[in-house]
Amino acid sequence: MEFEMGVLASAPIDEQCAQVGTDDCREASMIECYVFRRMLERLFPLPEDCSAYFIIKSFPHDFGAYREVCVKYSGDAGAEYAVKVENELPARWDAVAIQELDWLRERIRYMRAVAAGSITLDAVPELYRLQDPPLFRAKPATPPFWRPEPPSSRSARPTMPDASFVPNPGEE
């Protein structure tokens, strides 16, 4: 089965995103694309008869690589799905994505401190020792803002990368 690819964006269309050539571009774009892909998967559930999936792809640029979330698809149903996603791309981060962005940045900060020897892993709050973002609610309630997922549902989700670098799942 041959797949076509549609390039979508690295973040919601009205949000600022990582700029190629800046010091933090690699890390920021990886985080943004990882969370944006998860957001698109939430907003656009895949119909049963559809062959499509989201990836994060790097593209060369004069000042370094940049990343975009893309949709790979095949067949008529896949093409319809890709067009729907492209036409309905969100303008802003949703509440869950905002919480995931904050969680990822904080987790990376803790894991870097552990790697540098500034703190021990035991000093990292349990929430930031998780491999994947917790299941955040669409509208944050009073603390706690998250609830752990049952173990059976964790294995089906993309895994959060370790602290040696930052999100790169699904990148081609």
The per-residue pLDDT for range 26-66, each reduced to its tens digit, is 888 999 999 999 999 999 999 999 999 999 998 887 877 88
pLDDT of residue 166: 42
pLDDT tens, residue by residue, 120-144: 999 999 999 999 999 988 865 555 5
Q: What are the CB-based long-range contacts (under 8 Å, 24+) for 81-88?
A: 81/44, 81/46, 81/47, 81/50, 81/52, 82/4, 82/6, 82/52, 84/44, 85/6, 85/8, 85/40, 85/44, 86/6, 86/8, 88/43, 88/44
CA distance 48 to 60: 34
- Count of structural domains within the chain: 2
| 17 and 78 both lie in a single domain | yes
| 79 and 121 both lie in a single domain | no
The answer as to whether 162 is a domain residue is: no
- Check whether 73 has a pLDDT greater than 80: yes
CA distance 51 to 125: 39
Among 132, 128, 162, 163, CA closest to 149: 132
The answer as to whether 132 is a domain residue is: yes
| 38 and 76 both lie in a single domain | yes
The answer as to whether 43 is a domain residue is: yes
| 24 and 75 both lie in a single domain | yes
| 61 and 28 both lie in a single domain | yes
pTM for this predicted structure: 0.77
pLDDT of residue 74: 96
Residue type, 142: T
Among 99, 118, 100, 78, CA closest to 34: 100
| 68 and 108 both lie in a single domain | no
| 67 and 119 both lie in a single domain | no
- Structural domain boundaries enclosing 75: 4-87
Q: Region 145-167: what's the mean pLDDT?
A: 46
| 76 and 16 both lie in a single domain | yes
The answer as to whether 165 is a domain residue is: no
The chain-wide mean pLDDT, for the chain, equals 83
